[in-house]
Structure 1
Amino acid sequence: MTDNINTPTDEYHVASLVAYCMQDQIGEVTQAINAIEGAEIHATSVEGKIVLTLEGDSHKTIGKRMDQLRIHQGLINLSPVYHQVLDEGQ
């Protein structure tokens, strides 16, 4: 079995997620999301719900970016909704 962690791929991954954070930390959580490469916020609510997408070149990249968010103390829950993979080499 080979380890292809550093091997570039022709894949393009996009995942949509719903984050739920503490109402008094919406600003901090949105800043944390915006600081992640390939992250984009599409909607927020005053109740603390945030709809976002993550883009990357592999499942592993998406997972790492999700892990970066999960450790934020203001985040209560992070739920994946959709994940699409496109082969840009075709």
Structure 2
Amino acid sequence: MTKNTEDTTSEYHVASFVAYPLLAQLDEVKQAITDVEGSEIHATSEEGKIVFTIEGNSYRDIGTKMDIIRVHKGIINLSPVYHQILDESTGDDVAPL
């Protein structure tokens, strides 16, 4: 039997994204982003681009949260910008992706 180490990870992940929504659904997309635990919007341009981050404890956690947002019907495109990992057991940064 394989042990699930997902719950015992000492990693902290933060990833940033730019979402390109349909302007008519901008408010709904922003709400969908903020509804995801660990997500925070940092800026919205006049053209409707949304810059936000997602925090999580693993690659899988970030990916799951990203997929929840990505499939929203009001999003045209979701582009990853940056992903950083911190090993909380040592306090060291793991190389950014």
Q: How many residues align?
A: 90
The unaligned stretches of length 5 or more in structure 1 are none
TM-score by length of 2: 0.86
SS of the aligned residue for 1:89 comes to: coil
Q: What CA RMSD, in Å, does the superposition of the two structures yield over aligned residues? A: 1.5
Among the aligned pairs, what percent are the same residue? 61
**Within 2, Cα distance between the matches of 1:57 and 1:7?**
8
The unaligned stretches of length 5 or more in structure 2 are 91-97
Structure 1: 4+ residue segments shifted above 4 A: none
TM-score by length of 1: 0.93
Contact 2:19 2:49 in 1 (8 A): yes
Residue 29 (structure 2) aligns with = 29
Q: 1:81/1:3 Cα in 2 relative to 1: closer, same or farther (>3 Å)?
A: farther
Higher RCO, Cα 8 Å, sep 6+:
1
